[in-house]
Amino acid sequence: MGKRQTLNRALALAVISIAGFLLGAGGYVLDIAAGILSIDVVQANTTNGDLTIQPNGSGTNVLVLAGKTLKADTITSYAGYLSLNSAADILLNPTDGDVKIDASDLLNVTLITGNTGQIVIRETGGVRFADDANTTATQSDFTPTTNTLTLAINGAGSFVLDSTDTFKTNTIATASDANISISAGATDRSILLNPTGSGGVTVAAGKPLTADRLVGLTGSYNGSNLANRNLVINGDPVVAQRGTSFAAAGNATYTLDRWMWNFVGATAVTITQNSDVPTFAEAGRRIPASLKIDVTTADASLVAGDVAFLSQRIEGYRWSQADQRPTVCSFWVKSPKTGTHCISLRNSGLDRSLVGTYSVSVADTWEFKEVALIASVTSGTWNYTTGVGAHLSFALMAGTAFHASAAGAWENGNFVSTSAQVNCVDNAANNFFITGVQLEVGTVATSFQTIPFAEEQDMCLRYYERWDATTRAYIGSGHAANTTLGWIMCKYEKRKRVAPTFTASGTASHFTIQHGGGSAGCSVVPTVVSSSNDLDAVGLQFTLASGLTVGQGLEGIVTSTAVLEFDAEL
């Protein structure tokens, strides 16, 4: 290159540099076809300036020298990359700065400091620390043994990965209000902990870590918001001990396990376990079932006291982990109505209520929703043991008596919606579906917590258990009290919340006793032996016409249509 070309280029660089400072709030636009802008300090206005790297071409880079600082509100990279030497820093606008890496670009950096800003990695962009030899642009890497990313030391920053990026680091520490979010609901994002050392992920109290995978060779996760985070039981809902169809479901009636239907007014519905669910492509997982509410009798003219909602009563012990902490409810919904729908949290005394809203964009189409709910209040009546801790409700319609004055604030009273709630039961052709319900502590919804069916069923059994000839034909053993009475001790499959209410139904002769002399059907439906019902077992009295010997060993059996129910529901 001749001296004149060199001089011209240097002058051009100087002009661009000076122009950048003169632009102030306007920012920098660097558009040198294949050059590198090498300067001591690039500084945009600290309130609304930005730096854009190569918006129209490829190959332009910005190099910040060692010991120098790049200050900007927003840094957006399209086809070039931003390179900082080993002692250079990026200082993001202390109020809302971002670093955005697009396309296949790479950010080489030693230190990124952002009070409330965020690093956004899109497509196949990457962040690489200056002392990291790995230059793969499709990963966000830190040197496995030395580097640490600390988010939001003084603010509410976040780190976001999109596309199929992997975040590699020795240690992730979140301070204050920071979140680590790796494309919630997606399938190809992961955090890889410390491939060679002893790294870990530390999440500040009450802050969510959203990720599809955590892979730790020698690292660990320090937090409590991944396992057992869903306060809802049977959120998909796949457990259906009482049956799969409930025609003309009554008010305060349990249907599919843990789900209660509540209504006042002229409406009538049939509730079923249904196979209409979001697709794998939509949800990123196979959803086994949904709960369908089929309106069979419409209620189009509401009065003040009319209401219809689906609810789950959360036990106090479960609710206590969310008490006075923000929560977020996520779910899939298919509604017959577009517009505003409401969910609510209410306390055990039904004297404090919080209403949240979500909007349906397209009728009769599966849509995923997240509703953030503020921390619960301490006033009012709350239960933190075996009673109702909180009511989670999904409104289908509500008259004015159940309207909160506004969404997003706890109010004194029993409310399930705002006045904006649409009427989903105004037509007998309406069908409302819901599935994938998750309520968790935090401000950001995580992917749905899937657990094995057996574990889901075990949680349901704490509240309700049903025996019949298919599920448990041999119910227990005991002895003959006299020639006509047999006492059978029956142990529950799972310990109950409280001593359950016992119900026996079916033909008396289908409850049988087997003994040394054969077997015989009962003359009356079995009853509970006085004072023999507790959390773990119940004593049942089987009555025969005759044929027993005092002290004789017996076994109780249910056949055909005989049913025993043990109800410890909230």
Q: What are the angstrom distances between the C-alpha of 188 and each of 163, 334, 448?
A: 7, 26, 16
Q: Over the stretch 282-320, which tens digit does the pLDDT of each residue have? A: 998 999 999 999 999 999 999 999 999 999 999 999 999
Task: Give the pLDDT score at 443.
Answer: 80
Could you give the CA distance from residue 370 to residue 501 in angstroms, rounded to a whole number?
37
Enumerate the H helices of 198-327 as residue ranges.
Answer: 280-283, 316-319
Q: Which fold has domain 245-458?
A: Jelly Rolls (2.60.120)
Task: Give the pLDDT score at 517.
Answer: 77
* Amino acid (1-letter code) at residue 68: K
* Amino acid (1-letter code) at residue 29: V
Instruction: Identify each DSSP E strand in 374-426 by its residue range.
Output: 388-398, 410-412
Could you give the CA distance from residue 534 to residue 165 in angstroms, rounded to a whole number?
54
Could you give the CA distance from residue 392 to residue 309 in angstroms, rounded to a whole number?
10
Domain parsing of the chain, residue ranges: 3-222, 245-458, 462-567
Could you give the CA distance from residue 560 to residue 121 in angstroms, rounded to a whole number?
62
Give the CA radius of gyration of the chain.
31
The DSSP string of 121-170 is: E-TT-EEEETT-----TTEEE--TTT-EEEE-SSS--EEEE-TT-EEEES
In sequence order, the 6+-apart residues with CB closer than 8 A to the CB of 447 are 184, 185, 210, 212, 284, 285
Task: Give the pLDDT score at 530.
Answer: 86
Q: What is the pTM of this model?
A: 0.68
* Amino acid (1-letter code) at residue 513: I
Cα dihedral 346, 347, 350, 355, rounded to 10, equals -20
Task: Give the pLDDT score at 284.
Answer: 87
298, 292, 457, 442: which is closest to 375 by C-alpha?
A: 442
Cα 153 off chain centre by: 26
**Low-confidence residues of the chain: pLDDT under 50:** 1-48, 54-60, 78-80, 85-86, 93-96, 102-105, 110, 114-116, 122-125, 129-139, 142-145, 152-156, 163, 176, 183-188, 194-197, 224
Task: Give the pLDDT score at 43.
Answer: 47
The edge-to-edge listing of strands for the beta sheet with 518-521 is: 518-521, 511-515, 553-558, 474-480, 485-491, 537-543, 527-528
Could you give the CA distance from residue 82 to residue 92 in angstroms, rounded to a whole number?
14
For residue 238 the two structure tokens come to: 């796949």
Spell 359-393 as b/e; 16+ CB within 10 A means b: ebeeeeebbbbbbebeebbeebebbeeebbbbbbb
β-sheet bridge partners, residue 151: 174
